[in-house]
Amino acid sequence: MGVLPLILLPVAVGALMWLALRGVRAALGYGPPLLAVARNVVDEGSRKRVATFVFVSSIVFIAVVAWGLDPRDPLLFRIRNLLTYGIGGVVTLGMIMTMVLGCGSVASEFEEKQIYSALTKPVGRTPFLIGKWLGVLLLDGVLLFGAGIHLYAWVELQVRTCEDESEVARARAQVLSPYLDIPSNDATDPETRRRFEEYLPEYATRNSRRREVLGAEAFLDFAWSRFLDERRRISPDQGRTYCFENVRPGPAALHLCARMYPPPLGDQIEVIVQIGDSLAAVDKAKEELELLGVGKTTVIALEEGSEPRSVFVRIQFRDKESESPIDFTELHALEVVQPATNFANNLARTLLIYLVKFGFVAAMAVFAASFLSFPVATLTVALITIVASASDYLITSSMEPGGTLYKDSRGRLTQSGHSHGGSHSHSHSHEQPATDPIDAVLDSIERFGLVIAQALRKYGEVTPTTSLVDGRVVTVAVVGQSILWIGLVWTGSVGVVALVVFRRRELARVQV
């Protein structure tokens, strides 16, 4: 790859972003006052060089990432690195621009006393705030538009300049031809549910402490998750049968990614696989020996069907001398996959979800700036965004032993290891040491953060970049859920609260 693409491609993308920005400004030049406010935000972003800096930085960042890829690495590895770091950098820059412009455009109106003249014009309070939010969101849209074209162009350039056809075929199969994954039906199978009901009383007895802390409903979900994990482990000299429902007509493949602790010699696991369209067919199916690399995905092609069907797979681990079971508990370790869309559509859906997330952050920024100063509003929105992004990890880790959600005031352990408080106290227990004020403050902050994480968990659960890089379809359902929860429910709720706060503040300060 020569120097010419490194120069021409960023210049072409920059020109497209400039044209897109001009088009946005032209479209906002006609219409109600709301659009005039949005245009002022777009102009402010250009005038203060915030948007210009972010746009140029995103172009340079993607170009540097693409130029830094080692041509000796496999094509698949290069494409995945380009998408991971490219989208990550652009989203980070976009979040910074959203928070700075969202908070700054409203806070500056108060700090520079421009709010008084603005509201004496035929601009209502509602159009004023919505216009501020819309202007920031349109700048985010221009940023993601340019980033999408830039990333797609570099991916295509990497593919077209690769001379190894096998690497190109592998990249197209695993990233550039996104597939729909079909998990086994363990979670919906009535027989699995019946076995779980038999298993639950014993598990609840062994984990009474956790049940008391989490509550009945949360503990039931926790126990169900652990039970399904056990279903995806196969002990030595044992076998399990898994069913995959609603496999569509056309090509399909079985993906197996096994793990074992400790790993076997040679990092390979020998299993027998039988595949059929019913349990009876599986019993009669030919036994195929498969060598599974530990932590590596093995692909087994399935016969094409002419109509929707179920696929039954029996996996037998016949190593009687093994000390450990084989493990398929990790996400996507055991599934049937089918091609579903193309890379351009998948990339567009990924960026659309990030645009929805930007809209939520912009709403929080406008809201915070309606009653806080610019630095405080920006810091507040940044902290909430970070907690929301890491919400899934924070909640999961806090439920483990030692985590905040696992503890309660009656069950904390002293240094001697005895339990305190309630009916569980013992006469030989030591007195509970006085709580350190600093620890109490930190504990309160942690619990407040977990409240935010639980409220915004969907924000952290939706990670379209992971699906894009792994070659999985970012489904219309995921996009729809993001628009519904993050775009309509959360953004709308924050917007309503912002309007109420802003209206009350203006009534107190401005006589119109």
- What is the per-residue pLDDT across 352-407, written as a single tens digit (0 to 9) for each? 999 999 999 999 999 898 888 889 999 999 999 998 888 877 777 766 655 555 55
When comparing pLDDT for 95 and 207, which is higher? 95
Q: How far apart are the first and last CA of the chain?
A: 63
On the question of pLDDT at 330 being above 50, the answer is yes
Q: How far is CA 402 from CA 34, 411, 434, in A?
A: 51, 11, 19
Cβ 377 vs Cβ 107: under 8 Å: yes
On the question of pLDDT at 435 being above 60, the answer is no
For residues 184 and 497, give the distance between their C-alpha atoms in angstroms, rounded to a whole number: 43
- Which residues in 7-33 are b (16+ Cβ under 10 Å) and which e? eebbeebbeebeebbeebeeebeeeee
Rg (CA), the chain: 28
pLDDT at 486: 92
- What is the per-residue pLDDT across 35-92, written as a single tens digit (0 to 9) for each? 988 998 999 888 888 999 999 999 999 999 999 999 889 999 999 999 999 999 999 9
Cβ 508 vs Cβ 383: under 8 Å: no
For residues 159 and 153, give the distance between their C-alpha atoms in angstroms, rounded to a whole number: 10
Residue with tokens 């409220």: 455
- What is the per-residue pLDDT across 115-152, written as a single tens digit (0 to 9) for each? 655 555 666 778 888 999 999 999 999 999 999 999 99
Q: How far is CA 227 from CA 185, 433, 482, in A?
A: 14, 38, 29
State the average pLDDT for the chain: 84
pLDDT at 436: 66
Counting every residue written for the chain, the total comes to 512
pLDDT at 32: 84
pTM: 0.80
Q: 50: closest CA among 143, 148, 147?
A: 143
Cβ 507 vs Cβ 376: under 8 Å: no
Residue 472: strand, helix, or coil: strand
User: Residue 354: is it exposed, middle or buried by C-beta count within 10 angstroms (0-12/13-18/19+)?
Assistant: buried
pLDDT at 165: 92
User: In the beta sheet, which residues pair with residue 181?
Assistant: 337
Backbone angles phi, psi at 299, to 5 degrees: -105, 125
For residues 264 and 366, give the distance between their C-alpha atoms in angstroms, rounded to a whole number: 56
Once rounded to an integer, what is the mean pLDDT over residues 215-228? Answer: 87
Q: 275: closest CA among 291, 293, 287?
A: 287
Q: What is the DSSP string of 282-329?
A: HHHSPPEEEEEETTS-EEEEEEEESS-EEEEEEEEE--TT-SS-EE--
- Element (DSSP H or E) covering residue 479: helix 476-481
Task: Please give the domain boundaries of the chain with CATH numbers for all domains.
Answer: 3-178+342-396+459-509 (no CATH), 183-339 (2.60.120)
For residues 326 and 259, give the distance between their C-alpha atoms in angstroms, rounded to a whole number: 6
Once rounded to an integer, what is the mean pLDDT over residues 495-511? Answer: 67
- Taking the alpha carbons of 194, 197, 198, 200 in that order, is the dihedral positive or negative? positive
Once rounded to an integer, what is the mean pLDDT over residues 416-430? Answer: 41
User: In the beta sheet, which residues pair with residue 292?
Assistant: 269
Q: How far is CA 471 from CA 245, 351, 465, in A?
A: 21, 15, 10
Cβ 324 vs Cβ 264: under 8 Å: no
Structure tokens at 152: 């797609």
Q: What is the DSSP string of 323-375?
A: SS-EE--STTSEEEEEE---HHHHHHHHHHHHHHHHHHHHHHHHHHHTTS-HH
Structure tokens at 79: 């494409």
Answer whether the bond into residue 262 is a cis peptide, omega within 30°.
yes
Q: What is the DSSP string of 394-423?
A: HHHHHTSTTSGGG--TTS-B-TTS-B-SGG
